[in-house]
Amino acid sequence: MPLIKGGAPVSCSRRFFADEETPPDPNDAIVSLGRLVAAGGDVFRSVRLMPADDPLALAPHIRRLDLIEIAFPGFRDGRGFSAAQLLRRRLGYTGELRAVGQVLRDQVFFMARSGFDAFLIDDPHAEEIVAAALSEFTVAYQSAADDTRTIWERRWNARPAHTRRDDR
């Protein structure tokens, strides 16, 4: 599975270790939320959240983490979008936020708006999928975890100052 970050394939030495596996190097290990919490958060720098995991449980560890993977075992489960928003907006997470698993092309743009900046997709054409999805829309209608100005903000700022009212 190719890892796409910044629109291009990149390499990553980190891999996910199930709870019963012992990683040779904790710095290269991605672990479950349960394992991270049990270790006290000082051992591992990377975690994978499953759909049923509570992202707010990462609050005490958020500053030490530099990679959070959010698993999408099925394309119909949208809880990962909410988890990404919580991590970026409420907890202020600034590290890499990676979508992993069954990600459809139609979801990539909205994942990026939710705060994902890397994609590990079960498709050999992942680079083309991500590039096409991220360039498909040029305007956002509502605010999200990214820095995109909404169409309403663009229109408001485009009006002459003497015609604006500050009662919005």
pLDDT of residue 156: 75
Nearest to 139 by CA among 154, 119, 128, 125: 154
Task: Give yes or no for residue 75 having a pLDDT over 90.
Answer: no
pLDDT of residue 163: 59
Task: Give yes or no for residue 143 having a pLDDT over 80.
Answer: no
Nearest to 36 by CA among 47, 22, 49: 47
Other C-beta atoms closer than 10 Å to the C-beta of 111 total 24
Domains of the chain: 3-138 (3.20.20.70)
Task: Give yes or no for residue 168 having a pLDDT over 60.
Answer: no
Tokens of 140: 């956002």
Task: Give yes or no for residue 7 having a pLDDT over 90.
Answer: no
Mean pLDDT of 38-65: 93
d(CA 73, CA 59): 24
Nearest to 84 by CA among 100, 67, 70, 65: 70
d(CA 52, CA 105): 23
pLDDT of residue 165: 61
pLDDT of residue 44: 94
d(CA 164, CA 157): 9
d(CA 87, CA 93): 5
Task: Give yes or no for residue 103 having a pLDDT over 80.
Answer: yes
Beta partners for 14? none
Task: Give yes or no for residue 153 having a pLDDT over 80.
Answer: no
Mean pLDDT of 45-53: 96
Reported as a pLDDT band with limits 50, 70 and 90, residue 9 is confident
**Tens digits of per-residue pLDDT, 24-43?**
999 899 999 999 999 886 88
